[in-house]
Every structure is written in C-alpha cells, then in structure tokens.
C-alpha cells in the first residue's frame, strides 16, 4: 500500500492512525463521564513494556504489545477505581498527577533509559498494521457502544445518581471501562514505540494527555468514532496546510474556530431528533422564532 503514497504522507498517515488508536482509548475510558489526561502516560507505559520485552528478552512484537496492554489495563483499572470515588474535578486532577508521576518515575529509572529514554527498539510498525489495529479498535468501540456495559457507562455519564438507583455498580463500571481504554491506548503506544524506535519519558506528561483529550472533544465525545476522526483531522490538517508556510497556523486556527462555532458538540455530535445538524443552537433558535413570528402575522 505504502509504495503508492509518498514518504511524507506515509509518515503523516501513520502518525494520524496512531493518534486515532490512542484517542479511541480515551473514548472508552471517558464513556462513563470521566475526564482524563492520563492516556499519554498509559500509551507510554505500553511503549516501554513492549520495548523491554522485544529488545531485552527477544520476544515477538505481538507479545510485547499484549504485555503492555495487560499492564495498562491493570493500572488503568486501579486508577479508574480510585478516581470513581472522587469528585469529577478532583478525579481529573488525579489523572494529571498520575501522568506526571509516571514521567518522574521513567525519568529516574535507569532500566527505562532515564533521561535519554529507551533506544534501539526494533522497527515493526507499518501503515497496514496501524490501520488494521485502528479498524479493530473501532470495531471494539462499536460493539462496546451497543453493549450492556456501554449502556451502563452512558447511563453513569448522563446521571450517576439515576444509574445507581437503577442498579448499576458505578465504581465497577468506571474502573472497567477505564481499564479497557487504557489497554487500547497502550496498544497505540507500543505501535508508536516500534515506529519511531525510541521511547522517552517526556512523551508521557500532562501536555501529551491534553492533546489526546482535545482530539476526543473535537471529534465528538459522545460517539464511538468521533474521537478517532478528530485525531485524524487534527493530525493531517496542519500537514495539508503546508502550502502556506507563513500562514498555515492562522488557517489552522481559523478552521478550528469555525468548527467550534458550527459544531459545538464536536465533528460527530449526538443531536436531538428534529434538530438541524450543522447549525449552532443560537442560529436554530433565531430561525425558529422568526418562523413563528411570521406564522403569527399571517
């Protein structure tokens, strides 16, 4: 496939696909209403684990990816369990603290390469593998979205008290979906490490996590494929605007502003029945009032 695409776009599409996989992990973890900035750290955890398994122990890359995903699932489930018992604002701050702690630990651990990170990771990631994994992640997200666990998570997101009254175990569901999302992010992080062939602690911090959270919000946090689309668009768009080197970030910011105004719920919003998709609420209200007044005059 990649032989028909220029090297520049192969790199761009691989980066977009990896970001989409990790952001799909954010969708899972946030499906029960949690806001997290820890997924860069969890992706880095998958990258470190896979790098150590393949480079130091000589196992195949798929073993390293599975180990990284399992480690992230356990860690994410514990983090989700702890944060589920906190106020939502405090829980978000807890994920930020977790991300910064992982950076400090990785930075000061000699076995993880310290400040220089792990190098010499074998190159195993290619364009076809990235999009195969992305397709599997989106299929899993689709199945989850329409499953009993997904419905329970969405009920918690919409009203935690009502979900609890209806018999949903809020803490258990939040911990489980956070763990699933962490595992998906770790798979993306492992593929990323096996593509750039280095894993550093600096990629796991707060700003990296905010980047994925922004992808998630921009694409539409209530849909299973909106976050992946948001990651793809915001990764490819700056590169597509390279024809204007001096003004591409102005164009980029202008396009983002238009999307925020036109699609305040993200690129793929969940709209109420009868709403005009693509029109902001203030404009829909104005059109409705205008139409009503005209009807009254008749």
Could you read off the pLDDT of 123-156 as tens digits, one per residue? 999 999 999 999 999 999 999 999 999 999 999 9
Q: How many CB atoms lie within 10 A of CB 123?
A: 10
What does the pLDDT read at residue 50? 96
The pLDDT value given to residue 277: 42
pLDDT computed for residue 23 by the predictor: 97
Quote the CA–CA distance of 96 and 112 in Å, as a whole number: 21
Q: State the angle between helix axes of 127-145 and 7-30 in degrees (0 to 180), rounded to the nearest 10.
A: 20
Q: What is the pLDDT of residue 237?
A: 86
Contact 211, 68 (CB under 8 A): no
Q: Model-level pTM?
A: 0.86
What does the domain layout of the chain look like in residue ranges?
Answer: 2-262, 268-298
- Annotate 42-64 with b (16+ C-beta within 10 A) or e (fewer): bbbbbbbbbbbbbbeeeeebeeb
Q: Which CATH number fits domain 2-262: 1.20.1690, 3.40.50, 1.10.3470, 3.30.2310?
A: 1.10.3470
From CA 49, how far away is CA 245, in angstroms rounded? 38
Low-confidence ranges of the chain (pLDDT < 70): 1-4, 243-246, 264, 269-298
| The Cα angle at residue 210 between residues 207 and 213, in degrees rounded to 5 | 160
Task: Give residue 222's pLDDT.
Answer: 86
């Amino acid at each position: 496939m990649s032989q028909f695409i220029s090297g520049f776009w192969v790199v761009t599409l691989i980066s977009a696909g990896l970001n989409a996989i990790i952001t799909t992990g954010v969708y899972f973890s946030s499906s029960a209403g949690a806001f997290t900035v820890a997924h860069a750290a969890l992706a880095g955890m998958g990258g470190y684990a896979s790098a150590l398994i393949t480079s130091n122990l000589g196992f195949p890359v798929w073993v390293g990816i599975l180990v990284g995903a399992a480690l992230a699932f356990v860690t994410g489930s514990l983090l989700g369990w702890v944060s589920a018992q906190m106020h939502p604002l405090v829980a978000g701050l807890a994920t930020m603290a977790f991300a910064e702690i992982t950076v400090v630990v990785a930075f000061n651990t000699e076995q993880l390469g310290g400040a220089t990170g792990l190098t010499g990771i074998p190159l195993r990631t290619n364009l076809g593998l990235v999009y195969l994994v992305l397709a599997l992640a989106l299929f899993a997200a689709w199945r989850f979205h329409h499953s009993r666990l997904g419905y329970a998570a969405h009920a918690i997101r919409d009203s935690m008290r009502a979900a609890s009254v209806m018999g949903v175990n809020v803490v258990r569901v939040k911990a489980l979906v956070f763990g699933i999302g962490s595992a998906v992010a770790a798979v993306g992080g492992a593929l990323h490490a096996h593509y750039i062939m280095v894993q550093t602690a600096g990629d796991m911090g707060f700003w990296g996590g905010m980047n994925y959270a922004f992808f998630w919000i921009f694409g539409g946090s209530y849909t299973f494929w909106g976050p992946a689309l948001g990651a793809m668009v915001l990764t490819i768009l700056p590169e597509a605007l390279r024809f204007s080197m001096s003004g591409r970030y102005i164009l980029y910011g202008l396009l983002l502003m238009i999307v925020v105004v036109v699609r305040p719920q993200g690129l793929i919003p969940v709209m109420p029945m009868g709403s005009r998709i693509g029109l902001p609420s203030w404009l829909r209200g104005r059109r409705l009032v205008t139409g009503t007044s005209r009807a009254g005059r008749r």
